[in-house]
Amino acid sequence: MGFRGHSAVVTAVTLAGAMALAASDSSAQDRVRWKMQSAFSGNLVHLGTSGVRFTENIERVSGGNFEIKFYEPGALVPALECFDAASKGSVEACWTTPGYHTGKIPALAFFTSVPFGPSYGEFFAWKKFHGGDDLKNELYAQHGLYSIDVFAIGPETSGWFRQEVTSLDQLKGLKMRFFGLGAQVMQKLGVSTQLLAGADIYPALERGVIDATEFSMPTIDIELGFYQVAKNNYYPGWHQQTSVSELLMNKAAWEALPDQYKAMIELGAGESIHHTYAETEAMNPGAMNQMLAEYDVTNRRWTDEELAAFEKAWLEVLAEESAKDPVFKKVADSYLAWRKEYKTWGDAQALKATYQTQ
């Protein structure tokens, strides 16, 4: 019995060691390290801080086994050129927005924001339940990419101008940084637009390379210092009422993840969308008041006639781009069909301004 007992102990110890080794090997196999290039500085409120927070949440939930390393704009590739890097697999992911890739696929602009577009709820209803995100990933798949929405921000302002705009005729010949489909609207009105990354805007504005700019909202624009050069800030943000950004991933890298890690990204993305949208709405009233009180900014509102002119130009852009680009038309038709369906519900729930202020 002593011999057999000794054998049993040896066997148990050997088995335990084997199991520990197997567990160690499994743990090692499950350790994943990703590079994530950001289009936004890590300290830029909402846009960049959300990316840092997302990576910290993933590391926290995974117990450190899944690391997504945040890289500042330009650290690996230029801020607006991550599409190719992720497609080729030189980075696994980008913290970016679909509207930055319209040079590759113009229709991608729809998935960030649309001029005179929907509120947060209506926009996500289209994206999540009425085919929007399916169309987005159908386009990305052709380039070896996969995208998940990861943050959303509330309405933006529609531009910083050195002088008050008393007539839209003043826009003709103006050089202005502008984003997405809204840029095409401004071009219709005679503006010469260019797309610049956030960190590049202030130097261009200060040196006169551009005459005016739009970028985001009071909290963000204060940090970027536009008010130091241009004192007239225009509302409403007709071009971006809701803006949604993405984790753009190399499709093969995404598909190679263990299902548990895919779930971490999916659930972390949902939490980040909720957090960032609420954060922008919580912080912007105070930031707007700060600009008025401390920075001598004049907030101005486009007239109803001017907004009608912007909308007319947008409808022309929509028709022209749909006529010449079947992919653009396919996405536009899906988006417009949902807006038409939603309208009955949306109109029924609309409150008059009188009630909104009570």
193 φ, ψ (degrees, to nearest 5): -105, 155
The pair of structure tokens assigned to 288 is 């707007």
Residue 24 has pLDDT above 90, yes or no: no
- 228 to 165, 235, 294, 347: CA distances (angstroms): 18, 18, 11, 41
Mean pLDDT of the chain: 91
Mean pLDDT in residue range 214-222: 96
Give the three-state DSSP class for 79. Answer: coil
The pair of structure tokens assigned to 156 is 């933006």
* Eight-class DSSP state of 169: G
- 94 to 77, 160, 263, 345: CA distances (angstroms): 10, 28, 18, 36
DSSP symbols for 70-134: EE-TTSSS-TT-HHHHHHHTSSSEEEE-GGGGTTT-GGGGGGT--TT---HHHHHHHHHHSSHHH
275-330 pLDDT, tens digit per residue, is 999 999 999 999 999 999 999 999 999 999 999 999 999 999 999 999 999 999 99
pLDDT of residue 30: 83
C-alpha 20: how far from its chain's center? 43
Mean pLDDT in residue range 132-139: 98
Residue 172 has pLDDT above 70, yes or no: yes
Q: What whole-number percentage of the chain has pLDDT above 70?
A: 90
* Eight-class DSSP state of 167: S
How does strand 192-194 pair with strand 175-177? parallel
175-195 pLDDT, tens digit per residue, is 999 999 999 999 999 999 999
**Predicted TM-score of the model (pTM):** 0.89
pLDDT of residue 351: 85
How does strand 243-250 pair with strand 145-153? antiparallel
Which secondary structure element, helix H or strand E, spans residue 194, and what is its range?
Answer: strand 192-194
165 in the Ramachandran plot: left (φ > 0), alpha (ψ -120 to 50) or beta? beta
Give the three-state DSSP class for 239. Answer: coil
Tokens 């919580």 — which residue? 282
Under 8 Å between Cβ of 93 and 68 = yes
The pair of structure tokens assigned to 341 is 């369906």
pLDDT of residue 354: 54
Residue 197 has pLDDT above 70, yes or no: yes
> Following CA atoms 348, 351, 352, 356 in sequence, which dihedral angle do they give, to the nearest 10 degrees?
180
Under 8 Å between Cβ of 98 and 112 = yes
Residues 6 or more apart whose CB falls under 8 angstroms from that of 281 comprise: 154
Which secondary structure element, helix H or strand E, spans residue 249, and what is its range?
Answer: strand 243-250
The pair of structure tokens assigned to 248 is 């753009």
Domains and CATH numbers, the chain: 31-154+242-282 (3.40.190.170), 159-240+294-324 (3.40.190.10)
- Quote the crossing angle between the two packed helices 180-188 and 304-324, to the nearest 10°: 110
117 φ, ψ (degrees, to nearest 5): -90, -170
* Eight-class DSSP state of 240: -
- Quote the crossing angle between the two packed helices 259-294 and 49-62, to the nearest 10°: 150
Mean pLDDT in residue range 43-56: 98
The pair of structure tokens assigned to 142 is 């052709």
Which secondary structure element, helix H or strand E, spans residue 30, and what is its range?
Answer: helix 2-30
Q: How confident is the model at residue 236 (pLDDT cuts 50, 70, 90)?
A: very high
